[in-house]
Amino acid sequence: MTNINWKQVQSKTKRFLFGMNFMDGFVFKFIIYFLLVIIGFVFVYPLLVMLSFSLMSLEDLINPMVSQIPTTLYFNNYVDAFIALDYIKVFFQSLVVTLIPAIIQTFIASLVGYGFARFEFPLKKFWMVLVVVVYMIPPQVYLIPRFVLFHNMGLLNNIGSVLVPTTFGQGLNSSIFILIFYQFYKMIPKALDEAAQIDGASRLYIYFKIAIPLSIPSFITSFLFSFVWQWNETYQTFMFLGDGWQTLQTRLAIFVSAAQGNQVTLVEAAQNEAQAMAGNILIMIPMLIVYLILQKQFIEGIDKSGITGE
């Protein structure tokens, strides 16, 4: 019968549970994965409920025995939502209202961020603080003055109410994109600029041929954030675009409001809710496709834009 070296067993068990510095041990990994599962469930659960509810037939909706999982997959809710949203037409209108401002906003924020990172000018710190302060001020504070200004300029009920402020660096949450580019450009060694200047390159040449190619992940990150925020914006869209340009979000809000005003019975309420859930899923699909395509660049941009420069 062999003798058991209890000290050795105890040492191996302790190393397995706590590792060499606790962070590589089983206990620490278990806590981390447990927290990740809990946090992931908090985010995923509402989406699962929405998906499940949108696939329920009228019989499942009024059946008290069916709570989460539908007995059969019922896709007519998506057909009804597709028709109610006028999906194809309104999708392209949404794309124009979100894609063009997102591209312009990303480029303008890149220019401003490059200027802050590479040039010295009077009151530079003051302007940087102002950029942060503008981001912290809720948009509702200056919504009415902006509405009056756009009315006087004749920009209401057309896409100019979105393009004009975006072009002049006042788009939706432009300040955060300026800070992202500023942080990224601070990472690029100034020696590259100096070497290009010695060869006779202008500032614009350096920006387009050196700065932009090295900051593609930051462009992807800013573009995705801008695109998603523009896509989900409804309040300012209602205010400035009105009936001239409808987006899928505003169209869904109108559909839900009309359904709530016309519904009489609980059955109609449940059916309208299921169609609204299906509409939300249809609106989310383009965002998921864009993210899946640009996922790698997006994560790389988030990682690099959080690192301080030289």
Judged against a pLDDT cut of 50, whether residue 307 lies above it is answered with: no
The predicted model gives 38-50 an average pLDDT of 88
Judged against a pLDDT cut of 90, whether residue 60 lies above it is answered with: no
Check: CB of residue 229 under 8 Å from CB of residue 247: no
Distances (CA, A) of 135 to 131, 177, 234: 7, 10, 19
Query: Burial, 25: exposed, middle or buried (Cβ in 10 Å; 0-12, 13-18, 19+)?
Result: middle
Q: What are the pLDDT digits (tens) for 163-197?
A: 888 888 888 888 889 988 998 888 888 888 888 88
Distances (CA, A) of 4 to 8, 16, 156, 161, 300: 9, 18, 83, 79, 50
Q: What are the pLDDT digits (tens) for 208-253?
A: 888 888 888 888 888 888 898 888 888 778 888 877 678 888 888 8
| Residue 291: band (very low, low, confident or very high) from pLDDT cuts 50, 70, 90 | confident
Give how far the C-alpha of residue 90 lies from the chain's centroid of Cα atoms, to the nearest Å.
20
Output the pTM of the full model: 0.80
| Residue 303: band (very low, low, confident or very high) from pLDDT cuts 50, 70, 90 | low
SS3 annotation, the chain: CCCCCHHHHHHHHHHHHHCCCCCCCHHHHHHHHHHHHHHHHHHHHHHHHHHHHHCCCHHHHHCCCCCCCCCCCCCHHHHHHHHHCCHHHHHHHHHHHHHHHHHHHHHHHHHHHHHHHHCCCCCHHHHHHHHHHHHHCCHHHHHHHHHHHHHHHCCCCCCHHHHHHHHCCCCCCHHHHHHHHHHHHHHCCHHHHHHHHHCCCCHHHHHHHHHHHHCHHHHHHHHHHHHHHHHHCCHHHHHHHCCCCCCHHHHHHHHHHHHHHHCCCHHHHHHHHHHHHHHHHHHHHHHHHHHHHHHHHHHHHHHHCCCCCC
Which residues lie closer than 8 Å to 88 by C-beta, 6 or more apart? none
Name the residue ranges covered by the structural domains of the chain. 6-54, 76-304
CA 243 – CA 158 distance, rounded (Å) = 9
Q: How much is the pLDDT for 300?
A: 67
In single-letter form, the type of residue at position 245 comes to W
Q: How much is the pLDDT for 105?
A: 92
CA 103 – CA 261 distance, rounded (Å) = 38
Share of the chain above pLDDT 90, in %: 10
Instruction: Return the structure tokens found at 87.
Output: 């999906």
Q: How much is the pLDDT for 310?
A: 39
N- to C-terminal Cα separation, the chain? 65
Supply the mean pLDDT for the chain: 83
CATH annotation of 76-304: 1.10.3720.10
